[in-house]
A and B are shown apart, each in its own frame.
Chain A
Amino acid sequence: MTELWEGLVTAVKLIISLDPEVMEIAGRSLAISATSSTIAALICLPLGAVIHSNKFPGKRTLINIVQTLFSLPTVAVGLFVFVLFSRAGPIGGLDIMFTPVAMVIGQVILISPIMLGLTISALSGVDKAIADTAISLGASGLQTAVITLREARFAVLAGLIMGFGRAISEVGLSLMVGGNIAGFTRTITTAISLETSKGDLELALALGIILIVIALVINLVLNRVQQR
């Protein structure tokens, strides 16, 4: 018990003193997850608008599949990216295995279903009359999609934040395709898992606290957004 308490005190000291290692790992985590969230958002917002505003056979099934992929296991994505990019894999020549690039690719695959699914459901929550009004006022297809997204902005933003939250908190994927290389691909979650197994609780706890604070901030923003 005293060991845990001492660990906590040291962890807080590490954070307050802006310990270089802690800051570096936290910064890398944020950078990788922010990058993958941005890329996923750039794919999912337009794609969601296209799926929402078009009728085609199998649309319901497609949405069901996307929603099923919300709970895609991180290790499954890790395995997929590993097979794809490992030396012997089909595009192993790119040599991006165990780099942040592979982690970003994996996270984009992981969180895209969440962002896409929540974007589509946010758009279906918008009154059909909004699109009709825009079209009747002379909006093109693209302009109609933009105003509909704008009307759904709070729900859409909530979906994007959910995606970011999943990206920054996952561990299996980062470990498998990032390799937890110190100073290169080590993130908060992979560091916690390593340090804990080494018995170095102070660093693990400090990083754990930072991760919880990030989750808290995300939650506060999400709450704010949803109350609008």
Chain B
Amino acid sequence: MTMALIETVNIGQKYAGQYILKDVNLNINRGEVFALIGPTGAGKTTLLRLLDLLEVPASGSVYFDGMDVTDNKSLRLQARRRMSFVLQKPVVFNMSVYNNVACGLRWRREKEATIRQRVSRALELADMAEYINRNARTLSGGETQRVAIARALAVAPEVLFLDEPTANLDPISTSKIEEVLAHIIGDQKTTVVMATHNMSQGQRLADRIGVIMNGEILQTGSPGDIFSTPQKKEVAEFVGVDNILSGVIVNRDNELVTIDIGGNLIQAISDYPIGEEVHALIRPEDITLAPRKDASSARNTFEGRIARIFPVGALVRVEVACGFPLLAVVTKRSAEDLSLAVNKRVYATFKATAVHIIKRWN
């Protein structure tokens, strides 16, 4: 087992006597891209600040490359000089773009020639080379963000922290930043830890995701794992599982279980025993709608009436009332072909394997 580059043991942080982060145990491995995702106010920024050693945790310990860097000032500075951080709302120093990017290198007492070379490389990477002599305070939001990224890259960090790198930017600047980030991730052997509330950004860029809510890490895993098999209801909600049904397992036949959802029975695959209280998670895109009850291998078919229809981009979300509300997503074209309308009678079908079962905790 390889040692993690950064490891936290039960770290917590409190502001004004209130814990906003509690008992976080997290390993960041060398070379990986780790995305912290969670809603605004979940504690992402605080956790990044603790990992980057900008703050001392109220409890617990932080290890960097095997060293305990929880509160030793000189070790913290030493470790911090191997990392850099792009703040959510980056600020630039009131000086030229060149001098901004050179700052971190000057503080490390690098030679002028090295600085010149590293600054121009970093600015090229961030596609900001032509702004080298501009006063950094005169730049737009997207340009400021890219200078901040170049400034963080110039010091050749082993770990790069990014806090919501595209949160306050327009779509064009966002895609430009993502392009730069994808380049860094692909090109350099840098460990990247980024916070984002944007699930799809996390999925696009990260090797591993940690879902954080209310100051706690609820689940870590590959984007595929988090997306397909969320372990908690809150995670499921956050990653866009719209159908979360509460029920009890009432029968099982090998792995095939029957779950009683308020009188309706659905079938799914699960290891949980009879009597277990569970949530059944079904992605709306896994549900098909039909005007008749077709012969199908799918184990679950429910008759219901369409309660609501609302378009989302090229798709249409359809809420079917079939004893319980079930949300399905179909293309606009399908919706037209089936002439879906409110109050129309439809059959909603999904496979037992499309149902993800998690234990109910409270």
Binding site for B on A (CB under 8 A): 127, 129-130, 132-140, 143, 147, 150-151
User: Can you name 15 extra interface pairs (CB under 8 A) apart from A133-B93, A136-B80, A137-B107?
Assistant: A127-B91, A129-B89, A129-B90, A130-B93, A132-B54, A133-B85, A134-B107, A136-B161, A137-B104, A138-B77, A138-B84, A138-B107, A139-B103, A147-B93, A151-B94
Expressed in whole angstroms, the Cα–Cα distance for A130 and B148 within the complex equals: 12
How near does chain A come to B291, taking the closest CB pair, in angstroms?
Answer: 58
Contacts known (A133-B87, A133-B90, A136-B54); A147 close to B103, Cβ less than 8 A = yes
Question: Is there a chain A Cβ closer than 8 Å to B151's Cβ?
Answer: yes
Q: Which residues of B contact A150 (CB under 8 A)?
A: 93-94
Expressed in whole angstroms, the Cα–Cα distance for A140 and B152 within the complex equals: 16
How near does chain A come to B320, taking the closest CB pair, in angstroms?
Answer: 49
Contacts known (A129-B89, A143-B107); A137 close to B151, Cβ less than 8 A = yes
**Which residue from chain B places its CB closest to the CB of A133 in the assembled complex?**
B91
Q: Which residues of A contact B148 (CB under 8 A)?
A: 133
Partner of A136, one of B87, B93, B108: B87
A134→B103 contact, CB < 8 A:
yes
A132→B87 contact, CB < 8 A:
yes
A138→B93 contact, CB < 8 A:
no
**Which residue from chain A places its CB closest to the CB of B92 in the assembled complex?**
A133
How near does chain A come to B118, taking the closest CB pair, in angstroms?
Answer: 13
**Which residue from chain B places its CB closest to the CB of A148 in the assembled complex?**
B93
Expressed in whole angstroms, the Cα–Cα distance for A127 and B144 within the complex equals: 16
Contacts known (A130-B93, A147-B103, A151-B94); A138 close to B54, Cβ less than 8 A = no
Expressed in whole angstroms, the Cα–Cα distance for A141 and B293 within the complex equals: 72
Q: Which residues of A contact B90 (CB under 8 A)?
A: 129, 133
11 residue pairs A–B, Cβ–Cβ below 8 Å: A129-B90, A129-B91, A133-B93, A136-B152, A137-B103, A137-B104, A137-B151, A138-B81, A139-B103, A140-B107, A143-B107
| A-contact bits for B127-163, CB 8 A (1 contact / 0 none) | 0000000000000000000001001100100000100
Question: Is there a chain A Cβ closer than 8 Å to B216's Cβ?
Answer: no
How near does chain B come to A139, taking the closest CB pair, in angstroms?
Answer: 5
Expressed in whole angstroms, the Cα–Cα distance for A143 and B106 within the complex equals: 10
A136→B84 contact, CB < 8 A:
yes
Question: Is there a chain A Cβ closer than 8 Å to B7's Cβ?
Answer: no
Q: Which residues of A contact B107 (CB under 8 A)?
A: 134, 137-140, 143
**Which residue from chain A places its CB closest to the CB of B83 in the assembled complex?**
A136
B87→A138 contact, CB < 8 A:
no
Partner of B152, one of A130, A132, A137: A137
Question: Is there a chain A Cβ closer than 8 Å to B52's Cβ?
Answer: yes
B94→A138 contact, CB < 8 A:
no
How near does chain A come to B210, taking the closest CB pair, in angstroms?
Answer: 21
Expressed in whole angstroms, the Cα–Cα distance for A195 and B80 within the complex equals: 64
How many residues of chain B have a CB within 8 Å of chain A?
A: 23
Chain B residues 47-103 with CB under 8 Å of chain A are 52, 54, 77, 80-81, 83-85, 87, 89-91, 93-94, 103
B87→A129 contact, CB < 8 A:
yes
Expressed in whole angstroms, the Cα–Cα distance for A143 and B152 within the complex equals: 17
**Which residue from chain A places its CB closest to the CB of B73 in the assembled complex?**
A141
Q: Which residues of B contact A137 (CB under 8 A)?
A: 84-85, 103-104, 107, 151-152, 155
A138→B80 contact, CB < 8 A:
yes
How near does chain A come to B300, taking the closest CB pair, in angstroms?
Answer: 51
Q: Which residues of B contact A136 (CB under 8 A)?
A: 52, 54, 80, 83-85, 87, 152, 161
Expressed in whole angstroms, the Cα–Cα distance for A135 and B85 within the complex equals: 9
How near does chain A come to B88, taking the closest CB pair, in angstroms?
Answer: 9
**Which residue from chain B places its CB closest to the CB of A147 in the assembled complex?**
B93
**Which residue from chain A places its CB closest to the CB of B101 in the assembled complex?**
A137
Expressed in whole angstroms, the Cα–Cα distance for A133 and B152 within the complex equals: 10
**Which residue from chain A places its CB closest to the CB of B49 in the assembled complex?**
A132
Expressed in whole angstroms, the Cα–Cα distance for A133 and B145 within the complex equals: 13
How near does chain B come to A140, taking the closest CB pair, in angstroms?
Answer: 6
How near does chain A come to B93, taking the closest CB pair, in angstroms?
Answer: 6
Q: Which residues of B contact A138 (CB under 8 A)?
A: 77, 80-81, 84, 104, 107-108, 155
How near does chain A come to B104, taking the closest CB pair, in angstroms?
Answer: 4
How near does chain A come to B45, taking the closest CB pair, in angstroms?
Answer: 11
Expressed in whole angstroms, the Cα–Cα distance for A150 and B94 within the complex equals: 8
**Which residue from chain B places its CB closest to the CB of A127 in the assembled complex?**
B91
**Which residue from chain A places its CB closest to the CB of B76 in the assembled complex?**
A135
Give me the 3 closest cross-chain CB pairs, A-B, nearest first.
A136-B85, A137-B104, A138-B81
Among the interface residues A130, A132, A137, A150, which one has the most CB atoms of the partner chain B within 10 A? A137
Expressed in whole angstroms, the Cα–Cα distance for A137 and B161 within the complex equals: 11
How near does chain A come to B189, taking the closest CB pair, in angstroms?
Answer: 19
Expressed in whole angstroms, the Cα–Cα distance for A140 and B53 within the complex equals: 13
Among the interface residues B104, B107, B108, B161, which one has the most CB atoms of the partner chain A within 10 A? B107
Q: Which residues of B contact A151 (CB under 8 A)?
A: 93-94
Expressed in whole angstroms, the Cα–Cα distance for A194 and B83 within the complex equals: 66
Among the interface residues B80, B89, B91, B155, which one has the most CB atoms of the partner chain A within 10 A? B91
Expressed in whole angstroms, the Cα–Cα distance for A135 and B87 within the complex equals: 12
How near does chain B come to A8, taking the closest CB pair, in angstroms?
Answer: 46
A135→B80 contact, CB < 8 A:
yes
How near does chain A come to B269, taking the closest CB pair, in angstroms?
Answer: 47
How near does chain B come to A9, taking the closest CB pair, in angstroms?
Answer: 49
Expressed in whole angstroms, the Cα–Cα distance for A136 and B104 within the complex equals: 9
Q: Which residues of B contact A135 (CB under 8 A)?
A: 54, 80
